[in-house]
Amino acid sequence: MLKVEHLTKVYDNGTVALEDVSFEVPEGQFLAVIGLSGSGKSTLLRCINRLIEPTDGTITWNGVSITDAGPEEMRRVRRNVGMVFQHFNLVGRSKVITNVLAGSLGYVNPMLSVVNRFPPEHLARAMAQLARVGLEEKAYERADNLSGGQQQRVGVARAMMQEPSMLLADEPVASLDPVLAHSIMQHLEQINDQDRVMVLCSLHFVDLVHRYADQAIALNDGKLVFEGKPVEIDDAKFKEIYGKEAERVG
């Protein structure tokens, strides 16, 4: 159970990205986060693994306070939280396998990993994750030689390498075409169904939300404006979330 209470983030320049956001996510749920660009979706997801320090509020996960965690405790939390990014965030010059192995950095001996030594079972696991996303033959290619869809699949494999209990996906399909978008979303769905991993995924397209999410929350200007089942997002709700001028596409 992930519990977010009164979460507020004010950036140094005074921008209020999140304002008193509270919600709960039960184990195994696929939660979609929707809202306009700049509504605070990315900030919200990054506050959960504290890539961004929240200004105020608390986040608790299975009884452990994420907001109060010290550096070591935070590493323990983070390695249980996989993350997938809009721009994949792979290290382009490194091999695909190295990118996937980076997912296990929280688990391995810190000294040996610095000289690029990983236990053989980690290597086997990394190959298995690559096989799962259908890229095992690309393992020893440079990551930037891959197409966008392939890179995102490597991103998913890296996140799964962490054997996470929670997966944060920050607009994972926004830079992909619709066909690839569905393939990535199906990977996430599979992870959610089979591995019982809680997924928090920010999305642009409402039809993707309808199709994949169990639950949805919507942000507008940093405030939580909707919380409920995806089917509840009808045209009226849609205009409430996205503004009066918005029209549904796709």
Partner 1 sequence: MSDELKAGDASTPKHRTRRQSIILGLGIVAAVVTYAYGFQVTKVDLDEISSETRRGQLVRVLREIARPEILTYDRIPTNTELVIFLPCPASGYEASEPTQDRHLIVEPSCGEPGDTFVIMGIGFAGNSRGLINQVPPDGVLELKIGEFFADVDGNFVVEVDTRERADEEPQFIRVVTNERIGSIFTPVQVESSAGELRDSPRISRASRDTWDKIIETVFLALLATTLGAALAIPLSFLAARNLMRDITTDVTKLALQLLAIPMGIGVGVGLSRAARQLADQLTANGWLLALGLVLAPTVALVAMKFAFPPIDNKPPNPIERGQHGVVAVVAAIAGILGILLVADLFVLLGSWLDDALGSFGFLGGFLENTGEIATAITTVLSALLIAAVFANLAGRLASFVKSRVSKGLMQQATYPLAALAGAVIAAIIGAGVGWLYRINDAIAILWCPALAGAIIGLYLAIRNRERSSVQIGLVTYYISRTIFNTLRSIEPLVMVIVFVVWVGIGPFAGALALAVHSVAALTKLYSEQVESIAEGPIEAVKATGASRLQTVVYAVAPQIVPPYIAFTLYRWDINVRMSTIIGFAGGGGIGFVLQQNIRLLEYSAASVNMLAIVIVVASMDYLSSRIRQRVV
User: Cβ 237 to partner 1, closest distance in Å?
Assistant: 32
Nearer to partner 1, 114 or 246 (CB): 114
Please name which of 185, 177, 222, 193 lies closest in space to residue 44, comparing C-alpha atoms.
Answer: 222
Among 112, 124, 131, 246, binds partner 1 (CB under 8 A): 112
117 touches partner 1 (CB under 8 A)? no
- In order, the DSSP letters of 33-68 are EEE-TTSSHHHHHHHHTTSS--SEEEEEETTEESTT
User: Could you give the CA distance from residue 161 to residue 122 in angstroms, rounded to a whole number?
Assistant: 8
Restricting to residues 168-187, which ones interact with partner 1 according to CB under 8 A? 168
Please calculate the CA angle 71-107-150 and round it to the nearest 5 degrees. 105
CB 13, min distance to partner 1, A: 14
Q: Which residues lie below 8 Å from residue 187, measured CB to CB, with a gap of 6+?
A: 133, 153, 156
Interaction between residue 158 and partner 1 (CB under 8 A) = yes
Binding of partner 1 at residue 133 (CB under 8 A)? no
Considering only the stretches 106-114, 130-138, 190-198, 224-232, report the one whose residues sit in contact with partner 1 under the rule CB under 8 A. Answer: 106-114
Q: Which residue has the tokens 């109060």?
A: 68
Contact 161, 193 (CB under 8 A): no
**Residue 239 beta carbon to partner 1: minimum distance, rounded to whole angstroms:** 33
CB count in 10 Å sphere of residue 102: 18
Interface size with partner 1, residues (CB under 8 A): 44
Residue of 103, 94, 102 whose CA lies nearest to 141? 94
Q: Any contact of residue 49 with partner 1 (CB under 8 A)?
A: yes
Rounded CA-CA distance 139/99 in Å is 9
Give the per-residue contact string, 73-92, with partner 1 (x = CB under 8 A; - = no): x-xxxxxxxxx-x-xxxxxx
| Candidate ranges 98-106, 172-180, 186-194, 209-217; the one touching partner 1 (CB under 8 A) | 98-106
Q: Does 72 contact partner 1 by CB under 8 A?
A: yes
Site residues, partner 1 (CB under 8 A): 49, 51, 70-73, 75-83, 85, 87-94, 98, 102-114, 116, 155, 158, 161-162, 168
